[in-house]
């Protein structure tokens, strides 16, 4: 019985005896490996233990604690050093329990430095862990790093870093001879000079649009202007033309910094490039230089280009702040500031960056705000930057153009892709723009349409600037019939003859719907806007109908095998319940709830 009790108790006392074997100051290097655990298993267990301690954020203990903890830690260090000198390839069985990592074989990675920390000494990086500078960064692409000076540049909010393969488009060269004499009476009556009239003729304009007719004389007079007009009505020319004519001082070129006299801030790269292209054409014979800078592309070529001189600078907020920090741009000479699509910059979270840019510009400037939608929230935010402004509102604050035929196709969520493919079989997609809600859905839909035999490309924020520009150029040239996009390009695509705009996902923001369908029926043309409606989108559709002031008609696609649909009509949709917010019981009263509140400082009766 006594022997049986000893055998039964031995498993519980064995670990303690093994731990006590660590305390001697010397280690027997000739001790064979334990038959219960191989050296590799012991090393693996220590490694896993180290990983668990790192995940928990705890510190590795040296020694067993207590009064003899320091002596035990020093003995363990001496034991490890003696073991490394005598038997580098042999692991001690005690190392599996001591907490010290087993020594590695000569062919393995370099060993860790396990020196015990003194009191108050910080624990630094371990030798086998990559330093912060050595770890791969999120913006690294294929191991192509940027120069030290360019580190951190070109990363507008939500971008994917720098596209080293990006190639700039060919810029318009200004002719050396005098400007040709052009007679455009409608634009001349607005007060434009002959050099700018030649640029107007190069754009193909004959008669000004309503926003141009109202805005150009007031901007020429030096007033602050807030212009709200429908998409595709020529708002870019409405502020570029008078800005170019109001430039009287010669361009400053010192080869070190850029000193623009006018600044246009835009939310997206595509819109930035579009304004530059229009500005270069209008300034062809004026002698003024228009340059655009934006993120997602290498920094140095853009910095080199603006150092040659710039009169009108078009920029996205992120890249402009980068250039201000590096000292490549100074805004002390800017006398005209334009915020294009100010509401979009507010939605995208750019407003703090825009405020920093505004603070770097002289206070006595002219402010111009243009957009297709201008909410009360945006007007209240920009009110402190305006000086006795003139408000120009044409066609309502958020009204689509009359030449757009709007349709709604109710469908179940599972049949949206099949319905879209069937729609393209009945309607030849000459030049169709499809909008989705997410980037991943845009990629999946693009691949599905390509498999169905429809030439398609996707453009969204996850793609590099070169890929986005290539897809947009193919869409403009007619090589691509369908372009699937997110709202990042809803305000940056100016392509002629877009026949259809399809909302594969109805936008949650009603104003985005107006900007989406405004990509078609531009410059007096006609177009068709189709929205695929599911049961989950009825509230968003009702909000859109409330914004534009009309109920959209619903249609079914002929010869399409619809599944059973349960989609409410707009008149049947009830308002969404408001959010229930806890107010700390501020509205609670004892006569309503039967609970009398105790007033601090008074005794309750």
Per-residue H/E/C for 426-479? HCCCCCEEEECCCHHHHHHHHHHHHHCCCCEEEECCCCCHHHHHHHHHHHHHCC
Model pLDDT, residue 40: 46
Confidence of residue 168 (pLDDT cuts 50, 70, 90): low
Length of the chain equals 605
Lowest mean pLDDT among 135-149, 211-225, 241-255: 135-149
| Distance between start and end Cα atoms, the chain | 75
**Tokens read off for 481:** 């019939």
The pTM is what? 0.60
Band of pLDDT at residue 190, cut at 50, 70 and 90: very high
Q: Report whether pLDDT(19) > 60.
A: no
Handedness of CA 571, 573, 576, 577 (dihedral sign): positive
CB contact burial 487-502 (16+ within 10 A = b; e otherwise): bbbbbbbbbeebbbbb
* Residue 445, CB-side half-sphere exposure with 13 Å CA sphere: 29
Q: What pLDDT, in 10s, does the model give residues 332-355?
A: 999 999 999 887 788 778 889 999
Q: What percent of the chain has pLDDT over 70?
A: 64
Tell me: pLDDT of 521 over 80.
no
Q: Is 62 a residue whose pLDDT tops 70?
A: no
Give me the pLDDT at residue 139, please.
Answer: 38
CA–CA gap between residue 72 and residue 75 (Å, rounded):
5
**For 526-540, how does the pLDDT look when each residue is reduced to its tens digit (9 = 90+)?**
889 999 999 999 999
Express each pLDDT in 267-302 by its tens digit: 888 889 889 999 999 999 998 999 999 988 899 999
pLDDT tens digits along 83-116: 444 444 444 333 333 344 444 444 444 444 444 4
pLDDT for 45: 52
Which residues lie across from 407 on neighbouring strands?
530
Mean pLDDT of the 248-269 span = 90
The confidence band for 491, taking pLDDT boundaries of 50, 70 and 90, is low
| Beta bridge partners of residue 336, listed in sequence order | 262, 366
Dist. CA 230–CA 371, nearest whole Å: 8
Question: Residue 252 — pLDDT band, cuts 50, 70, 90?
Answer: confident
Q: In whole numbers, what is the pLDDT of the chain averaged over residues?
A: 74
Domains and CATH numbers, the chain: 15-98 (no CATH), 185-393 (3.40.50.300), 404-572 (3.40.50.300)
């Amino acid at each position: 019985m006594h022997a049986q009790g000893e055998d039964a108790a031995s498993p519980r006392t064995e670990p303690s005896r093994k731990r006590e074997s660590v305390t001697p100051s010397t280690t027997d290097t000739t001790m064979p490996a334990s038959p219960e655990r191989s050296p590799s298993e012991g090393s693996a267990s220590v490694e896993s233990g180290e990983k668990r301690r790192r995940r928990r954020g705890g510190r590795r203990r040296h020694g067993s604690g207590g009064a003899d903890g320091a002596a035990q830690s020093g003995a363990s260090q001496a034991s490890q050093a003696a073991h490394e000198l005598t038997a580098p390839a042999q692991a001690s069985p005690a190392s599996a329990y001591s907490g010290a990592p087993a020594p590695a074989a000569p062919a393995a990675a370099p060993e860790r430095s396990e020196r015990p920390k003194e009191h108050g000494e910080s624990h630094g990086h371990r030798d086998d862990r990559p330093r912060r500078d050595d770890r791969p960064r999120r913006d690294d692409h294929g191991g192509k790093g940027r120069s030290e000076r360019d580190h951190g540049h070109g990363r507008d909010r939500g971008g994917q870093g720098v596209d080293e393969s990006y190639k700039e488009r060919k810029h318009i060269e200004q002719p050396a001879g005098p400007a040709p004499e052009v007679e455009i009476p409608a634009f001349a009556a607005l007060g434009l000079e002959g050099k700018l009239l030649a640029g107007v003729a190069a754009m193909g304009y004959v008669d000004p649009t309503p926003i141009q007719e109202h805005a150009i004389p007031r901007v020429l007079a030096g007033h602050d202007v807030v212009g709200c007009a429908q998409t595709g009505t020529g708002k870019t020319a409405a502020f570029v033309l008078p800005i170019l004519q109001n430039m009287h001082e010669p361009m400053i070129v010192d080869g070190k910094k850029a000193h623009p006299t006018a600044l246009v801030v835009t939310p997206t790269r595509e819109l930035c490039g579009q304004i530059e292209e229009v500005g270069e054409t209008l300034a062809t014979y004026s002698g003024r230089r228009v340059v655009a800078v934006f993120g997602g592309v290498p920094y140095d070529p853009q910095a080199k280009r603006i150092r040659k001189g710039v009169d009108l600078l078009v920029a996205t907020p992120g890249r402009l702040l980068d250039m201000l920090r590096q000292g490549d741009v100074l805004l002390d000479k800017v006398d005209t500031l334009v915020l294009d699509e100010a509401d979009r910059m507010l939605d995208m979270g750019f407003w703090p960056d825009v405020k920093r840019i505004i603070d770097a510009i002289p206070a006595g400037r002219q402010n111009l705000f243009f957009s297709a939608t201008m909410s009360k929230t945006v007007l209240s935010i920009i009110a402190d930057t305006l000086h006795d402004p003139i408000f120009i509102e044409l066609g309502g604050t958020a009204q689509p153009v009359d030449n757009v035929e709007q349709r709604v196709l109710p469908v179940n969520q599972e049949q949206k892709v099949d319905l879209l493919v069937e729609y393209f079989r009945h309607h030849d997609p000459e030049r169709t723009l499809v909008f989705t809600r997410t980037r991943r859905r845009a990629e999946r839909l693009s691949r599905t349409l390509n498999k169905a035999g429809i030439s398609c490309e996707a453009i969204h924020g996850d793609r590099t600037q070169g890929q986005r520009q290539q897809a947009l150029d193919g869409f403009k040239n007619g090589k691509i019939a369908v372009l699937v996009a997110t709202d990042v390009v809803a305000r940056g695509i100016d392509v002629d003859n877009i026949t259809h705009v399809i909302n594969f996902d109805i936008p949650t923001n009603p104003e985005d719907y107006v900007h989406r369908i405004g990509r078609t029926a531009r410059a007096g043309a006609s177009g068709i806007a189709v929205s695929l409606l599911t049961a989950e989108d009825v509230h968003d559709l009702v909000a859109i109908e409330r914004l534009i002031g009309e109920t959209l008609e619903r249609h079914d696609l002929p010869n399409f095998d619809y599944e059973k649909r349960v989609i409410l009509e707009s008149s049947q949709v009830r308002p969404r319940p408001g959010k229930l917010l806890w107010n700390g019981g501020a509205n609670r009263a004892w006569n309503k709830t039967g609970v009398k509140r105790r007033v601090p400082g008074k005794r309750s009766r």
